[in-house]
Amino acid sequence: MRKLTEEEKAWTDETLKKAAQKMMVVTERNRGIIPYTTKNGRFDDKSGEEITWWTNGFWGGEMWQLYKLTGNEMFREEAVGVEEKLDKNLMITEGLDHDNGFKWLPTSVIRYRLEKDPESLNRGMLAASNMAGRFNMAGRFIRAWNNWDNVDRRGYAIIDCMMNLPLLYWASEETTDPRFRMIAQAHADTAMRDFVRDDGSVNHIVVYDPFTGEVTDTLGGQGYAKGSSWSRGQSWGIYGFALSSYYTGDKKYLNTSRKVADYVLSVMPESFLVPIDYRQPQDVDLEDSTAAAITASGLIELSQQLDEGADVYLDAAIKLLKTLDENRISWDFETDNLLNNCAVDYHGDGHNMSIIYGDYYFIEALMKLKGNALRVF
Q: Which residues form the interface with ligand GLY (CB under 6 A)?
A: 160, 222, 232
Q: How far is the CB of 25 from ligand GLY (least distance, A)?
A: 28
Q: How far is the CB of 236 from ligand GLY (least distance, A)?
A: 7
* Closer to ligand GLY by Cβ: residue 98 or 123: 98
Confirm whether 152 is a catalytic residue.
Answer: no
SS (H, E, C) 85-147: HCHHHHCCHHHCCCCHHHHHHHHHHHHHHHHCCHHHHHHHHHHHHHHHCCEECCCCEECCCCC
Q: Are 164 and 131 in contact (CB under 8 A)?
A: yes
* Closer to ligand GLY by Cβ: residue 80 or 276: 276
Helix or strand or coil: residue 329?
strand
Q: How far is the CB of 298 from ligand GLY (least distance, A)?
A: 13
Name which of 152, 246, 226, 142 is nearest 190 in CA terms: 142
* Closer to ligand GLY by Cβ: residue 234 or 305: 234
Catalytically annotated residue among 160, 194, 288, 345: 160
Catalytically annotated residue among 99, 325, 345, 359: 99
Task: Write the DSSP symbol of residue 160.
Answer: G
Q: Which residues of 352-374 are buried (b: 16+ CB within 10 A; e: fewer)?
A: ebbbbbbbbbbbbbbbbbeeebb
Q: How far is the CB of 249 from ligand GLY (least distance, A)?
A: 26
* Closer to ligand GLY by Cβ: residue 222 or 280: 222
Distance of CA 51 to the CA centre of its chain: 18
Name which of 232, 246, 365 is nearest 296 in CA terms: 365
User: Is residue 176 left, alpha or beta, with left meaning phi > 0 and alpha meaning psi from -120 to 50?
Assistant: left
* Closer to ligand GLY by Cβ: residue 12 or 228: 228
Residues listed for the chain? 377
Confirm whether 349 is a catalytic residue.
Answer: no
* Closer to ligand GLY by Cβ: residue 291 or 310: 291
Spatial distance between the Cα atoms of 220 and 222, rounded to a whole number of angstroms: 6
Q: How far is the CB of 31 from ligand GLY (least distance, A)?
A: 27
* Closer to ligand GLY by Cβ: residue 12 or 164: 164
Distance of CA 163 to the CA centre of its chain: 6
Give DSSP secondary structure letters for 162-212.
Answer: GGTHHHHHHHHHHH--THHHHHHHHHHHHHHHHTB-TTS-B-SEEEE-TTT
Q: Are 21 and 322 in contact (CB under 8 A)?
A: no
Closest residue to ligand GLY using C-beta atoms = 160
Q: How far is the CB of 372 from ligand GLY (least distance, A)?
A: 26
Q: Are 215 and 208 in contact (CB under 8 A)?
A: yes
Q: Which residues are catalytic?
A: 99, 160
